[in-house]
Amino acid sequence: MGSRVVIVGAGQAGFQVAVSLRADGFDGLIALIGDERGLPYQRPPLSKTVLAGKQHIDSVAFRPERFYQDQRIELMPGEKVAGIDRASRQVFLAAGSRLPYDTLVLATGARVRTLPMDGILYLRDREHAVELKQRLDAAANVVVIGGGFIGLEVAAVARESGKTVCVTEVQSRLMARAVAPVLSDFYREAHRGVGVRFALDAAVTNVSDGEVTLGDGSTLPADLVVAGIGVVPNTELTVEAGLPTGDGILVDDHLRTADEHIFAIGDCADHPNVFAGGRARIESVQNAVDQAKCVAAQIVGKSAPYSAVPWFWTDQFDLKLQMCGLSSRADRVVTRGTMESRKFSLFYFRDRRLLAVDSMNRPADHMVGRKLLAAGTSLTPEQAEDESVDLKSLLTSAN
C-alpha cells in the first residue's frame, strides 16, 4: 500500500507501527501524530515504578529524539487531528493544515472514564502521573475508587509508601472482569494482609474536602482520591468520518476498517479475536505491539490475519501476575501449585479446552501457557493441575 503512512496516536501502538514499518523495509514517508507534547512514552511504569519513585518520569520515553530523525519518522507532538476526509485521503489538523495519506493508521487509544465529581485524580498519562506522585507524597489517607488493575496497583504503591489506604469497588469482588473469584479473593487477602481496607459493593456518591461518602451514607477520610474505573475508546474521528464502531472502531481480522485505506489498532480497535470467541477490544501493551506489527507487515505487502495470544501483567507488592489468553468464557478453573506458597497458576477451560492461564510468581508456567495457546496444544484439566506432568513435554510431543 501507498507511499505515505499517517499514524494518528503516538502511544504504544502508534509508535510500534512506525518502528515496524522501517524494520520491514518501508521506504516511504511516515508521519506520527500525537496530541501530547514531548516524546512518545511507555504507560505501564506510570502506575508502578514512576508512582513508587523508582523511575523518573523523564526516563519513560520509548526512544530519544534523534531516533526519529535517524529513522525518518516525522514526529508531530502536540498536534490534534480534527477530522478525516476519506474521499481525498487527508487528515485535518486542528491548527488548520491538512496532511495527505495513502494509508491511515488510527491508534487513538482510550481516555479514562470519569466520575461527575470534583476532587478526584486519574492516572492515564504523563501529566497525571506527575501530579499523582506529588499528591501521594503529601497525603496521609488515600481512597482508591475501583478495584481493577490500575486501582490495585495504585493502592499497593500508596500502602508501601506508608499511607492509610481504602479501595472502594461497586462490584462484590476485585478485578471481576479479568479473573476468577478465587484470584479475586487471593488479592483481597494479600492487600488486607498489609493493611489495605476494602469497601465492596460500594458506590461513591460524593467527594468533598477530606472525605468520601459511600452509597450507604458511611464516610472515609481522604486527602487524596484516585479513580481507576476503566477507559473509553477514542472513536470520535471514525464516527465523524462515517466508519462503523462498536466497543471501539470496528475492524476485520486484518485490522482494516470499512475503508480499505484505514486501519485501527490498540485500545481503540474492536476486532475479531479467536481467543475471545468473538469480537474484543483488548487494553494491553502486547495487543498494541502485536497489532502494530501485523498492520506494518500488511502495508509492506505481507498480509496475514491478527492471531496473537493476548497476554497481560500486573505488579502489586511482591506479587507478579502474568496472564495469557482470555478467561471470561471458562466453565472450569484448576490450580497448579498452592496459593499458600504465593506461587501458583490457574488454568481456565471451557468444554475441557484450554482458554487461559493466570500465573502468580510462576513465570515458567506463563511462558508455556502462551506457547500451548498459540499452538492449540491439547491439555486436559487433570494434566494442568498435576505438577508431575511436564507441560513443556506436551509442546514437544505435539510437534
pLDDT, one tens digit per residue, over 221-231 is 999 999 999 99
CATH superfamily for 318-398 is FAD/NAD-linked reductase, C-terminal dimerisation domain (3.30.390.30)
pLDDT in tens, 166-205: 999 999 999 998 999 999 999 999 999 999 999 999 999 9
Question: How far is Cα 134 from Cα 150, in angstroms, rounded to an integer?
Answer: 18
Cα separation, 81 vs 27, in Å, equals 24
| Domain locations along the chain | 4-112+231-299, 121-227, 318-398
Span 54-87, pLDDT tens digits:
999 999 999 999 999 999 999 999 999 999 999 9
Phi, psi (deg, nearest 5) at residue 41? -145, 165
pTM of the model: 0.94
- Closest-CA residue to 102 (of 19, 33, 22, 1): 1
- Does 121-227 match 4-112+231-299 at the fold level? yes
pLDDT of residue 396: 76
Q: Which CATH class is domain 4-112+231-299?
A: alpha beta
Radius of gyration of the chain (CA): 22
Whether the pLDDT of residue 1 is over 60: the answer is no
C-alpha 227/C-alpha 55 separation (Å) is 22
- Round to whole Å and give the CA distance between 284 and 269: 12
2 pLDDT above the threshold of 60: no
Query: Cβ distance 92 to 98 under 8 Å?
Result: yes
Span 211-223, pLDDT tens digits: 999 999 999 999 9
Place of cell 472514564: 113
Secondary structure (3-state) at 156: helix
Supply 301's cell numbers.
505487502
- Could you tell me the three cell numbers for 182? 478465587
Q: Which residues of 34-44 are buried (b: 16+ CB within 10 A; e: fewer)?
A: bbeeebbbbbb
For the segment 87-98, the average pLDDT, to the nearest whole number, is: 95
User: What average pLDDT does range 20-33 have in this prediction?
Assistant: 97
As a whole-number percent, the residues of the chain with pLDDT over 90 amount to 96
Which numeric CATH code is attached to 121-227? 3.50.50.60
Q: From the CB of residue 64, how many other CB atoms can be counted at a distance below 10 Å?
A: 10
Average of per-residue pLDDT values in the chain: 96
CA distance 218 to 386: 47
